[in-house]
Structure 1
C-alpha cells in the first residue's frame, strides 16, 4: 500500500495522482484512431463509472456492518483478549489483546514484548496492525511477543483521560507478569494521539516502561513554522474551545470523532474532493480493493466523552500545557515528562502536516535549554526524520514499516543500551562498500549519531512574538468558554437530547456519504448487477486514446485549482491569526500586556517562552547521584573496563551502528547464563561508564588498569572484545586509533594485537 505525502490519507494508495487510467488500459494496444476512438473512450468511461459506484456501494455496506458491530477494528492478525478495561476499578473502553503470531512466526520469550497503542483521534482501532507490513508485523518478525491496545466505539460514561492512563499502566503491569523471562521491560509504541497519552502515563509510572516509540505524535502544540502547519492556527480561528463545548452539549455528553476526521480532511481539499475519488475512478480495475481496505478504517468514526475532548482541547490543542508541566492529576501530582527514565524514540516526517517535526520534537527544547541537562536528567532521546511521508504513513505505510519500523524493532535493544543524550537514527541501504554486512539485520544499516539541541532548533520554531500570540489564543479561549458556559450552555443542554444527538451524528457528512451509496439507498439497487455485467465484458480504453489524455489533463487542472485554493486559504488564515492575536490591544485586554507600558508585540517586551519550572527534588537527587558516582571510578572489574574503553574510543566520533552492538551481543551470549549480564544490568553498566567519563575523562581512563583482573587470559579476552566491537564498523578515525593505542598500553597489549 503506497503512501501519499499529504496527511489525512497517506496510507490510501488512491490518494496519489494517477499517471494512467488503469493497469488494464496500459496493457492494451494503441487505438486505431478512426471514428471509433471516441466510442472506445465513452464505453470505458461508462464502465469505470459503474465499477466506481459499485465500489462505493461496497464501502457503504461495510460501513453499515461495522456500525452494528460491538467492537469494529481492522487488525489483520488473530488476537486473544487479555484485559477488558470496562472491568477495572475506573472503567474505560480500552482493551488489551495478545496478538497470536501467524503460522511460521516464532517469538522469543526472552525478548521484551512490544505493545502497540492505537490513536483514539476520531477513527476506530487496528491501523497499527492492519496488514503484515505494519508495526505489529515487523515486531513479530523480529521475534518479540506482541500486544495491542485498542478501544470500543463508545466511551464508558464519565471516563477521563487520567482513567485511560491508569488503565494503560495496568495493562503494562499485566504484560510484565506474563513475561517474567523477558530481558527488559515492554517496548511501547504510541501512534499519533496515543503517543502523548503514553508519555503522560510514563511520566506518572516511569518504572513500568521500556523504550517508548512515538510515531507522528504531537507533544508541543504551538510549535511550527510560518507558511506551513495551518492546523495549529485552528484554535485561534475558532475563537478557542467553546465550539468543542458546544459540540459536546449538542451530542448529549458525547463528542463525535467524525468532526476530527473532517478537520484532517480539510487540510488537503485537493486530495479529499478530487484526487482520491478520481484515482479510484481512473484505476478502478486495480485500486478498488485497496480503496476499500483503507476506507474500512477511515470511515468508522468513534465517540469520546465530551469532557474528555474538552480536556484535550483545553490542555493540549490550545493550552499547550503538557511540556510546560501545567497538567496535574486528580491528586495534585504534576505530570512532568522529565520523570521518564526510558529511552524515547520519535519517528516524524517533513511531509506530515498534522504533526510536523516541530510539534513532534519541540518538547525537547521546551524541557531543556542546554544539552547537558538531558544527560544530567538521565534521559535518552532518539529521533529519526523522514523526508516526505504523510501523517498516517508514518505508522501504516508498508515502506515505512519495512524500513524505519523494522530497523527500530530489530535495534531496540541497542537503543535501550544507549547512555543519556540526544541522538538521531540514520538508516541507510547496505551496498557493496559496506563493511561486515553479515552483522547487519536486513537490507538497511542502522546508525545512531549524537546530536545537540541546536539541531532541533534548526528545524524551525516560534519566536517570542509567536508564543505571545498563542498565549493570547489560550486566554481568549478561556474567556469565550466561560461566557458560553455561563450564558448559552443551559439553553443548549435543555434543547439537546439523545434522539437529536443521534440524528445529528447520522447526518454528519462523514457518515452520510457512506450511507447514501449503500444498499440502504433504493437508487443503488441496480448497480450490483450492472457491475457484474461490466466485469464480464470489460473493455478498457487504450492508454494512448486522446480523450483519455484530455481527461487526465482536466484532472491535473482541477487538482491545481484546489491546490491554489488551499495555499490562498492557508495564507489568509495565517495572516488573520498573526494580525488578530498579535494585536497589542487584544493582548492587553486579556491581561498579557507587557510591563511598564511596553508594546507586547516588540521582541524586547515579549515575555520569554514558557518553560517547565525547576524541580528541586530532582536536582537534589541528581547531585547526590553524581557524588555517589564519583566513588565508582575503580569499581566494576573487567566488564566496567571493557565498557569504559569502548565508550572512550567512540566518544569523539559521536556515532555507533548496529554492527558493533551485534558483536557485543554475541560476546554477551557466549557467557554462561549464570554470569551473563541482564539487559538492565548492561544498561546500567554502560550508563555509569559514560557518566564517569563525562565527569572526569582523564581520571576514568587512568583508573582502567585498577579494574583489570590479575589473570592475563581474562585481560586478553577483554581486550579482544574491545577490538572486535570497535572494528566491527570498519577502520577507526585517527583520534579513535590514538585512543585505542593508549588503551592497549593500559591493558598490557601491543597496539596491533587482537
Structure 2
C-alpha cells in the first residue's frame, strides 16, 4: 500500500513571519489603547461630576445644599428616543455603590438596571455622588439625604401605583437597608444586588476576603490610612482590595484579553476602565464607621448600630418586600454574606411573617460580583424580570421566597400572560434552604468575635500612641502627593498624555490600523501564545489558592486560640450572635391576632375572593406573574373593580392571608357570609377566581381539592341562608 502523506507539524517560515508582524502590530495598538486609557482617566478626573451613565440625566437635588450637606445628588433619567414612560407606574431609584469607584454603573449601558426599568415603562431616578466628600459628612448624613431624595421622588409622582422601587448595588445595598429601617414609609420593594449584610458569613475554603480584617489586626490600619490622607480615605485602596481577590485577572488575563483581541476589544475595555479607574475619596470618619460597624464589627444584622439620637437600626422595621440578588460566582459578596442576615434576625419563617416582611431571593450560579451590575445578560434576565414583575413581588403574602426563572419558550399554559422572555415564579422557602447554602458554626462566630475585640484594642492603642504624631506630620499637600502615586493611579499616569514617551503612539497606531495584517486563526504560534497565557493564569490561580489557604488557616489558628479568646473576653459558652427580641413586638402581634379573629366575618366579595385565592394558592407553594396579569385583565374588564388600587389590593391580600394563618377553619367557615346573596353574582365571582388560578396552569392535586372545597362554600346551586351576624352592610360593598 502506498504511504499516506504526513502533515507537517512544525511551523513554516511564513507562519513565523505572519505571527511576528501580527504580534508587533498588536503591541502598538495595545500601547495606543493604554494611551487612550490614560487620557480618558485624566479627562474623567478633572470633571466636576464624573459618571459613566449611558443616559441623559437632569439634576433634581444637589445634596450640598441640604441642611446637613453631603456630596450626593438625585437626578432624573431622561428616557431615550422611543421609550414610553407610564406615569401611573411606580418610579425606580437606583443607588450606586460608593466603594472606591465613581457613580453610574447601574446605568452603564442600555441593557442595565436603569435601561430595563425604563423599558418596562417606569420613571427612573439615580442617586450618585461627587468624587470628594463634604468635609465632616457622616454615614448618617447620607442616610438622611437619601430619605429626603425619596420624599422628593414620591412628591413628583402622585399618580404612581405604589412607592418607589429602590435598587442598592453592592455597598449601596446596606446603605439603602439602613434608610429603609429608619424610614420604612418611603419605600416600595427594595432590590439589593451583590450587597453584603452579614459580613462574617461564608464557607471554609472560600470567601477569603472576610479574613482580611483579622489578619491585618483590625481597623487601626483604616485609621492610619485616613490619617495619612489628612482626614481623607483614598477609595483606590478599596479598589485594590477587589483586585487582590483575583490576581490572575488583575496581573495578566485582563490585559492579555485586550492584547489578543485588540481589533474588537478596545471599546469595551475602555468603557469599563472609565468606571473602574474613576477613583473617589471618602471622609476618614465615614470609612472608619463602615469598617468598625460593618466589615469587622458585623453589627447591622444584630441591630447594634444606633443613630446619633440613639435610634436602633433594626432591619425588621422594613415593611417593604426585600429582593436579594446574589451569585455563587461572587467572591466579594458570596450568597452567605448576602442572605445570612435573615438567619441573624429570625428563628423561623413564621417570625418573618409576624413582622409582615416579604423576602425574595435568587442565587445565580456563575456570574461574578461585577457581572451582577454590568452584565447585559443579567440585566435582560434577572433585572428585567424584577422590573416587569415588581408589582407581583409587592403583593406577595409575607414570608420567604425564591425567585425561579423559566424560559418563556418552555411555558405552555398562559403564555400570553408573560411580558418578557422569562417566567418568574416565587416559590415558598424555609430558613433551612438558606442554611443549605453553607455558613458559620458557633466556633467560626467566636473567631470573628475575637477578631472584632482585638480590633477595638488595637484601634485604641493606635489612637493613644501613634495617631497624634501621624496627624501632626501629614499636611494636606503631602496627603495629595501620596494619593497621586498610589499604584492604581500611577498605572494610568504612566501611559497618559503627561508621559512624553507616549507621544509617538497615536500616529504609529494609525499607520498600523491602515496596514493591519492579523495572523490566520490556524497559525501554530497563536496556539503557543494561548498555551503560554493559560500557564500564566494557572500559575497565578495556584498562587491565589495557596495564599487563601494559608490566610484561612492562620485566621482560624490565631483567633481560635482559647487563651486569646479568654483574654479578650469572648465567652466560650456564648451563643451565636443574634438580634435581640422585642417583648413589645410580641404584644403587638398578639393584639393584632385578636383584632383579626374578631374581623374574620367582615368584608365583601373582594375579601372573599382574596381569601379563596390565597387558600388555594398556598397549596401550590408560590405564585407567578401569570396570576397577577389575570387580575390586571379582570380589573380592566370590570370598571367597578378599578377603584381598588395596588396598595389597597396588597392590604386586602395580606389581611386575608393572616386570617387564614391564624385560624384556617374559622376563616373558611366565614367565607359564605362575605359573598353576595344573588346566585348569579356568586357564580361570576367563582368564575373570576378560576380564571386567575388557571392563568398559572391547570389546577391539580391538593390545589384542586381546595378549589372544590371553596366551590362548596360558594353554594353555587342554592341561595345562601341568612347570616346569623346579619352582616348586610359588609356584603353590600361592591365587588372588586
TM-score (norm 2): 0.95
Measured in 2, the distance between the counterparts of 1:511 and 1:337 equals: 38
How many Å separate the matches in 2 of 1:113 and 1:270?
41
Mapping of 1:25-44 within 5 angstroms?
Answer: 34-44=12-22
Match of 1:3 in 2: none
Distance in 2, matches of 1:523 and 1:276, equals 24
Query: Counterpart in 2 of 1:630?
Result: 597
Offset, 1:747:
1.4
Change (3 A) 1:415 1:432: closer
Distance 1:264 1:537 in 2: 39
Q: How does 1:3-18 map to 2 (within 5 A)?
A: none
Task: For 1:196-207, list aligned pairs within 5 A.
Answer: 196-207=174-185
**Is contact 1:58–1:518 with CA below 8 Å preserved after alignment?**
yes
| Counterpart pick for 2:309 among 322, 331, 341 | 331
1:667 Cα deviation after fit: 1.1
Aligned residue in 2 for 1:436: 414
Distance 2:681 2:58 in 1: 49
Counterpart of 1:146 in structure 2 is 124
- Partner of 1:579, secondary structure, is helix
Aligned residues of 2:218 and 2:454 also touching (Cα < 8 A):
yes
Q: Which residue of 2 aligns with 1:108?
A: 86
Aligned to 1:320: 298
Question: Do the aligned partners of residues 126 and 750 (structure 1) sit closer, same or farther apart at CA in structure 2, a change above 3 Å counting?
Answer: farther
The within-5 A match list for 1:527-542 is 527-542=505-520
Preserved contact between residue 405 and residue 424 of structure 2 (Cα < 8 Å): yes
Distance apart, 1:285 and its partner CA: 0.3
Q: Distance in 1 between matches of 2:557 and 2:337?
A: 23
Decide whether aligned partners of structure 1 residues 248 and 433 sit closer, same or farther in structure 2, where only a CA change above 3 A counts. Answer: closer
Correspondence for 2:35? 57
Paired residues of 1:51 and 1:284 also in contact (CA < 8 A):
yes
Describe how 1:277-356 pairs up with structure 2 within 5 A: 277-356=255-334
Q: Tell me how far 1:217 sits from its aligned partner.
A: 0.4
Question: How far apart are residue 360 of structure 1 and its match?
Answer: 0.3
Whether the 8 Å CA contact 1:169–1:205 is kept in 2: the answer is yes
Larger deviation: 616-625 or 371-380? 616-625
Corresponding residue of 2:457: 479
Moved over 3 A (4+): 30-34
In structure 1, distance between residues paired with 2:94 and 2:637: 32
Aligned counterpart for 2:653 among listed residues 686, 701, 714? 686
Partner of 2:584: 617
The answer for the alignment partner of 1:672 in structure 2 is 639
Count of equivalent residues: 711
* Alignment pair present for 1:659 and 2:659: no
- Cα deviation for residue 433 of structure 1 reads 5.1
CA distance in 2, matches of 1:31, 1:214: 55
- Structure 1: how far apart are the matches of 2:474 and 2:639? 69
Mapped to 2, the partners of 1:32 and 1:437 lie a distance apart of 57
Q: Does structure 1 residue 399 correspond to structure 2 residue 377?
A: yes
SS in 1 for 2:639: coil
Provide the rounded CA distance (Å) in 1 between the counterparts of 2:412 and 2:90.
30
Alignment of 1:240 with 2:207, yes or no, is no
CA distance in 2, matches of 1:396, 1:713: 54
Structure 2 distance, partners of 1:412, 1:327, is: 30
Once the two structures are overlaid, the 10-residue window that deviates more, 430-439 or 132-141, is 430-439
1:162-561 aligned within 5 A = 162-431=140-409, 434-561=412-539
Deviation by residue 1:196-247 (Cα, 9 ceiling, x = unmatched): 0000000000111100000000000000000000000010110000000000
In 2, Cα distance between equivalents of 1:78 and 1:500: 38
Cα drift, residue 432 of structure 1? 5.1
Shift of 1:676: 2.1
* Structure 2 gaps, min length 5: 1-7, 719-736
- Alignment match, 2:550: 572
Q: Which has the higher contact order (CA 8 A, sep 6+)?
A: 1
For residues 331-383 of structure 1, give each alpha carbon's deviation from its aligned partner in whole angstroms, at most 9, with x where no partner exists: 00100000000000000000000000000000000000122100111100000
**Per-residue displacement from partner, 1:138-187 (whole Å, max 9, x unpaired)?**
00000000000000000001000000000000001001100000010000
Higher mean C-alpha deviation, range 613-622 or range 452-461: 613-622
Q: Report SS of the residue matched to 2:253.
A: helix
- Residue 671 of structure 1: CA displacement? 3.4
Aligned to 1:46: 24
Alpha-carbon distance in structure 1 between the residues aligned to 2:713 and 2:594:
26
The answer (yes or no) to whether the contact 1:31–1:542 under 8 Å persists in 2 is: no
Name the stretch that deviates more: 540-549 or 147-156. 540-549
Q: For each residue in 1:42-77, what CA deviation from the matched residue of structure 2 results, as whole angstroms up to 9, or x when unmatched? A: 100000000000001000000001111100000000
Rounded Cα–Cα distance in structure 1 between residues aligned with 2:635 and 2:469: 69
Aligned partners of 1:31 and 1:544 also within 8 Å:
no
Contact 1:668–1:676 (8 Å) recurs in 2 = no
Alignment root-mean-square deviation, CA: 1.4
Matched, 1:746 2:724: no
Match of 1:24 in 2: none
1:704 aligns with 2:671: yes
- Note the residue ranges of structure 1 that are not aligned, 5 or more in a row: 1-29, 595-599, 601-605
DSSP-derived class of the 2:175 partner: helix
- Alignment deviations for residues 603-661 of structure 1 (CA, whole Å, 9 cap, x no partner): xxx41111111122222222211111111211120001101111111112212111111
Question: Residue 686 of structure 1: SS of its match in structure 2?
Answer: helix
How far the C-alpha of 1:306 sits from its partner, in A, is 0.2
Does the CA contact (< 8 Å) of 1:422 and 1:451 recur in 2?
Answer: yes
Q: Are residue 120 (structure 1) and residue 98 (structure 2) matched?
A: yes
Structure 2 counterpart of 1:732, from 695, 699, 706: 699
Q: TM-score, normalised by structure 1?
A: 0.93
